[in-house]
Structure 1
Amino acid sequence: MDLDDLFPDKPDDPLTLLTKQDLDPLSVEELSARIEILEGEIARVKAKLDASISFRASADELFKR
């Protein structure tokens, strides 16, 4: 999936800018730190996704009755 599909009208979106950043000037330590930060962000987004799915399932169950 292309980020332009997700954020077509937001060229200044932080995620779009992040993916277009030149990684060449970064050191090994900086790249490792970046990976750790991004993995933490992935975990945070997955937790939010799971909570949203659970909330939606609860709402769907409530309104089926």
Structure 2
Amino acid sequence: MTEEAESPRRGRGAALDLALKEDLDLFSVGDLEERIALLEGEIARCRAQIARKAAGREAADALFKTPGD
């Protein structure tokens, strides 16, 4: 019994790096519009995550705030 070699794990953002390097000349107008919609969705998802993290940070700061600050 032989073990299959595991494929190397891609780092954070690797998929985005690959997408940024794609040749856009190969895409149709419809494909590009779909791509833009997907990217806009991803931007919204990132902004929502930033807001959640900022809220968590503000809550932690408020909890550990020393009196008189």
Large movers: runs of 4+ above 3 Å: none
**Unmatched 5+ stretches in structure 2:** 1-10
Identity over aligned pairs, percent: 45
The two structures have a TM-score, normalised by structure 1, of 0.78
2:38 is matched with 37
| Bigger radius of gyration among the two | 2
**Unmatched 5+ stretches in structure 1:** 1-9
Higher relative contact order (CA 8 A, sep 6+): 1
Report the aligned-residue RMSD.
Answer: 1.4
Q: Distance in 2 between the 1:18 and 1:25 partners?
A: 13
1:63 is matched with 64
